[in-house]
Amino acid sequence: MKEVPAMLNCEPVDVALDIKADLGEGPVWDDRTRHLVWVDIMAGRVNLFDPLTGSNHVFETGTPVGAATLCESGALLLAIQDGFAQLDPATGAVAPFAGFPDASPDVRMNDAKCDPQGRLWAGTMAFDMHPAGGALYRLDPDSSIAAILPSVTISNGIDWSLDGLTMYYVDTPTLRVDCFDFHPASGAISNRRPFVEIEQPGAYPDGLTIDAQGNLWLALWGGWGVGCYSPQGELIAKVDVPASQTTSCAFGGENLDDLYITSARTGLSAGDLAQQPLAGSLFRVRPGVKGRPANRFAL
């Protein structure tokens, strides 16, 4: 892919929350409560960040949480170690929703997002990250689970084009963002093909989001930032972040014009942490474009 000069003028990134998360991930903006929902995966924490007060309410689940997604009911749907659960933000109560019939203690959830029709797409990975140890699943509102992509290594970022007919997806070790033809009525996918190949040395594709103009914002694990790619796959902007392990991003704020970026400290040495003391923080930047309201699970 040929890079083009940056076309978007992003403001400098700031620290929304210096929390030192071990593996911060999965930000999603709740436009009803005006909170950012995000997780610290291995700590089993679901966070609700209020940008007006700077407060961050933490729910302890006691199990690894790969993602927390919004529901039409107001609950949060969690992608947990062995399946899915509901979290009631009013009480903190967690209740099972659907379990994998072949759940393994060697595998965990890693990322998830709802499609425009209200189905949840969630991926897994092996704890030791061995090749083909995970899969991508689709959870329908009737609690049925279908394995859509087997033999995935690190299932990661996912989102849909503005017209809802293309699904973007990351299996991190491929060093690509792939896209599929998406069939809204059935939830089927077909015609997998590369969309973006990551050429930055040491950088791996992680979580992603699509903005209101159809651009794709991609967190770069090991890449110290977030890249923005046009609908044609051209690199048009880069947000520099003072943490090497950026994990995901989502638009939020009153006008959906703030880009929130999660990061991680896991695996960093004492020397690394001395050089990047803000690793694990929740960052925020005004990139000059707006995002879209998050899709909700049709529960």
8, part of any domain:
no
Residue-level pLDDT at 6: 47
Cβ neighbours of residue 269 closer than 8 Å, sequence gap 6 or more: none
Q: Residue 292 falls within a domain, yes or no?
A: no
Q: Is residue 210 part of a domain?
A: yes
| Nearest CA-CA partner of 251 in 51, 40, 21 | 51
Asked if residue 114 belongs to a domain, the reply is yes
Residue 95: count of CB within 10 angstroms of its CB = 9
**Tens digits of per-residue pLDDT, 43-55?**
999 999 999 999 9
Q: What is the pLDDT of residue 7?
A: 54
CA distance 100 to 175: 28
Q: What is residue 8's predicted lDDT score, i.e. its pLDDT? A: 66
Q: Which residues of the chain have pLDDT under 70?
A: 1-9
Q: Which domain holds residue 120?
A: 14-285
Q: Which two tokens stand for residue 100?
A: 């994998």
Q: Which has the closest alpha carbon to 182: 216, 148, 208, 143?
A: 148
Q: How far apart are the C-alpha atoms of 35 and 265, rounded to whole Å?
A: 23
In this prediction, residue 9 carries a pLDDT of 65
Alpha carbon separation from 33 to 37, 49, 162, 291 (Å, rounded): 10, 10, 24, 17
What is the pTM for the complete model shown? 0.95
Domain assignment of residue 123, yes or no: yes
Domain total in the chain: 1
pLDDT at 127: 94
Looking at residue 5, its pLDDT comes to: 39
Residue 82: what pLDDT? 86
Residue 142's CATH number = 2.120.10.30
| Residue 41 CB burial class (10 angstroms; 0-12, 13-18, ≥19) | buried
Q: Is residue 4 part of a domain?
A: no
Is the residue at 3 inside a domain? no
Give a yes or no: residue 153 inside a domain: yes
